[in-house]
Amino acid sequence: QYSPYYNSHHYNSPYLTSSNISPAAITAPLAYQHPEHPAMMANHSPESHTGKDLASSSSPLFIWDLDETIIIFHSLLTGTFSSRFGKDSSKAVSLGLWMEEMIFNLADSRLFFNDLEECDQVHIDDVASDDNGQDLSTYNFGSDGFQSPAGAGSLCLGSGVHGGVDWMRKLAFRYRRVKEVYNTYKNNVGGLLGSPKREEWLQLRREMEVLTDLWLTHALKALALINSRPNCVNVLVTTTQLIPALSKVLLYGLGSAFPIENIYSATKTGKESCFERVSQRFGRRAVYVVIGDGAEEETVAKKKNMPFWRVSCRADLEALSHALELDYL
């Protein structure tokens, strides 16, 4: 448990003033607003973006990586962020561990990660065809026998899921509930966490922004600029398993940037397969831009002739926002 350590004020930074980071700014969905681009919440269904809609305009579709591109997480734990940018390494590791605990706590407590870890999917709707649409308002997930004595994990080994019809329906119910939780709370993560977790989360977010020189704030600015355009779409392709990825997206305040239908996990299939799914969904004629820090997304982008925007430091995110503001992208 990290909270007693963090609630003490060892790290009251002189840079943490109400003028640059406030709880309101952290909880407000995509609070950045450019004078010429009034902030627009993505309230349209992403499924309505057919290839034709996007192909008829020159607006690109942006495929984002998550870790070390939009958010700083693993590099805090491994020490690479602190060594690269001259930060306090013990502080970085402790913030990383604190965030890791929150990610898995949320995934386990609200997003069924205990049930779904072995039954990971690429996309939230991948098992929706097994869902009979039953009302789940009084459904008891704890006693429906999903975690069978034989061990549900064995049903999910290999490339697919091998349960019977009844078990597959229970799996689909869990993914439907995850989708409901995400859509209900994506702009109100504090409400999902409740007190005192909410206060702990806000403190963690503030301390991480100070340590990373407002990295996430700059990423959110670029995401908001893209969201403010009528025909532009943000898509996330991450190597994190889907459920922890959704937990990360919520905890880092990215829910309003990414409709859940636009989030793909490449854990099982790799990024190339996910890029293929995205281009099938939105059409071959759409313009795609890939934004990431890793070799895998860069290699796939080159192979598919998609422009690649490398993010290796905060300035790369600032340059991206600048290019978007000037309509270079």
What's 98's domain CATH number?
3.40.50.12350
Structure tokens at 66: 């998550």
Instruction: Report yes or no on 6 lying in a domain.
Output: no
| 199-to-6, 26, 41, 195, 202 alpha-carbon distances in Å | 11, 12, 25, 7, 5
pLDDT of residue 30 exceeding 80: no
Give the per-residue pLDDT at 162: 60
Give the per-residue pLDDT at 259: 97
Binding site as annotated, residues for Mg(2+)? 65, 67, 293
pLDDT of residue 55 exceeding 80: no
pLDDT of residue 68 exceeding 70: yes
Instruction: Report yes or no on 299 lying in a domain.
Output: yes
Instruction: Report yes or no on 89 lying in a domain.
Output: yes
Give the per-residue pLDDT at 328: 85
Catalytic residue among 65, 120, 130, 131: 65
CB atoms within 10 A of CB 250: 26
pLDDT of residue 37 exceeding 50: no
Instruction: Report yes or no on 49 lying in a domain.
Output: no
Instruction: Report yes or no on 34 lying in a domain.
Output: no
| d(C-alpha 80, C-alpha 173), whole Å | 40
Give the per-residue pLDDT at 165: 86
The whole-chain average pLDDT of the chain stands at: 84
Is 120 a residue of the active site? no
Binding site as annotated, residues? 65, 67, 293
Q: The whole model's pTM is what?
A: 0.82
Listed in sequence order, the residues at least 6 apart from 45 whose beta carbon sits closer than 8 Å to its beta carbon are 259, 261
Instruction: Report yes or no on 184 lying in a domain.
Output: yes
Instruction: Report yes or no on 3 lying in a domain.
Output: no
Q: What is the per-residue pLDDT across 99-148, written as a single tens digit (0 to 9) for each?
A: 999 999 999 999 999 999 989 999 999 999 999 999 999 999 999 888 75
pLDDT band at residue 157 using 50, 70 and 90 as cut-offs: low
Range of the domain at 258: 60-126+180-326
Per the model's pLDDT, the better-predicted residue between 145 and 205 turns out to be 205
pLDDT of residue 237 exceeding 50: yes
Nearest to 311 by CA among 327, 290, 328, 326: 290
Is 67 a residue of the active site? yes
H or E segment and range at residue 219 = helix 215-227
pLDDT of residue 22 exceeding 60: no
Instruction: Report yes or no on 198 lying in a domain.
Output: yes
Lowest mean pLDDT among 20-29, 58-67, 231-240, 257-266: 20-29
Q: Are strands 263-265 and 60-64 parallel, antiparallel or unpaired?
A: unpaired
* % of the chain surpassing 70 pLDDT: 77
Specify the number of domains making up the chain. 1
